[in-house]
Amino acid sequence: MFSGLVGLTVVAAMSAQALQTVDPKLSLAGASINGSTQAVPAGTTFTVYGVYSDDSTNPESGLGLKVKYNGTHLTGVTISEEYTKCRIAVADVQNPTTATAQAVMGWIDTAIRPNGVVGSATGAVGWPDLADLASGGCLNPGSINTDTAAASATSLKLFKMTGTMAAGCTSAAACTSTVTFDSEGNYSYANAGAGFTNKSFTITGAAAPTQALAATPYVSRKTHGAAGTFDITIDPAGSATAGQSVTVEPRQAQSGAHQIVIAFTSAVSSAQFPTVTAAAGVTSLPVATAFNGNEMTVTIGSAGTPVPNGSRVTVSATGVGTAAGVNPSVVVGFLVGDVSNNRTVNSTDVGTVKGQSGVAVTSSNFKSDLSANGAINSTDVGLVKGASGTSIN
C-alpha cells in the first residue's frame, strides 16, 4: 500500500477487491485515449484529463499516481483541477525539462461514511464512488486535505494536465514519446488481488500550425433579430485618410458596439493574437475579442464609449508565436444611414430605405434595416431621414 510515499501509515478497512484505473481523456465526457497516438503540432497546447474508475462496489481505493512523460517534448507541464478529497500528495512536477519528467500525486485510503460519528473507524468506504455524507471524512493519518465535496456517482476527474509541444517537435520523426499513468504499486485495497491498471498513450510532433488571412478576411457583422445574421464585406484597401475610399457600416451600433470579424485559413486563439486595438483617429476605443475556429471577432465600442458616428476606425491585431508576422489591420467607416456606401447620407439613401419599408429582411436588402432588429419599417426611415446631410470626411 503506497510503498513509494514515505512516512504514510494506512489504516486498512475490509471491503471488496477493486481493480482501479485512471483513464486519459481529451474531454471529461469523451472516450479514453489509452493506446492511441495523438499528433500535437509544435508550439501548441495539449490538455489531457485523468479520470478515475474501478470495477466494484464500495472499494477501498487509496492511490499514489505518477504521470510520466518526456519533458523535452511536452514542455511547461502543469497539473490543475485536482480532486482534493482525501488528497495526501499535491501534484508535484519533477525533472520537468528532462526525458524522464513526471508528476507525482496521491490520495489516502478511503473516505469513511460513518453513521453520524465523524472520524469513526467503522462505516462504509468507497472513495470516490459514493457521494460523501455530511458527517463523513477520510482515514486520516494527519496533514491531509479532508475536503468533503461530493464525488461523482460513476467516474471522477482526478486532475487536468496541460503542456506545450516543444517548438522543435515538428514531426513524428523529431518527437515521439509515451505518456503513462502509472501507480508503481502505490495503491491500496482491502484484500489481496485486483489492484491497478496502468494506462498510456503516445504523443508525436507535427508541423506547427500557420495562420494566414482568408481570401475574404474582414466583415462587419450584425444579427438582425429573427431575420438572421448578415455581413458587410470590408475592403482591405480602405483608408484612414480623409477623402479616401473606405467601406462604410451604415447600421446602428448595438449597445454602442460594432463587431468586426477577421477570418483566417486555420484556427486561431487569444494566445496567438494577444494584442488587438481599435482607434478612431488618435482616440482609442474599447475592444473585446472572441475566438471561434478560424474567426476572431473584435467588438469595438461600448454603451459608455460608443463608436463615433462619421468616423474612420482602424482595427488591428498583432500575431505572436505560431501567428508571428500575421498582423491583420483594416479600416472601417461608420455612418448611420449610408446604405449607398458613398460616405454621405442623402436623398438616395432615404429613397432606398423608404423603398424597402415593409419588405422582409434578406441578404439583398439588410443594409436598409438600420436598426438591425429584423424589420425594415418607419424606425429605419426615421433614422435615415435624421442622418441626412451627415458624412465621413
Domain definitions of the chain by residue range:
19-206, 213-387
Reported as a pLDDT band with limits 50, 70 and 90, residue 98 is very high
In this prediction the pTM is: 0.53
Question: Which of 127, 112, 123 has its CA nearest to residue 53?
Answer: 127
User: Which element (helix H / strand E) includes 354?
Assistant: helix 347-356
> Does domain 19-206 match CATH 2.60.40.680?
yes
- Assess whether the region 19-206 and the region 213-387 belong to the same CATH fold: yes
pLDDT at 197 over 60: yes
Report the C-alpha gap between 350 and 383 in whole angstroms.
9
Residues ≥6 apart with Cβ < 8 Å to 351: none
The mean of the pLDDT values for the chain is 84
Reported as a pLDDT band with limits 50, 70 and 90, residue 144 is very low
Burial label, 86 (beta-carbon count in 10 A; 0-12, 13-18, 19+): buried
- Give pLDDT, residue 325: 85
- Give pLDDT, residue 139: 52
Please write the tens of the pLDDT for every residue from 100-126.
999 999 887 655 444 444 444 444 444
Phi first, then psi: what are they for 237, rounded to 5°? -85, 0
> Which residues share a beta bridge with 65?
105
The topology under which CATH files domain 213-387 is Immunoglobulin-like (2.60.40)
- Give pLDDT, residue 29: 80
Measured CA angle at 184 (ends 72, 70), to 5 deg: 5
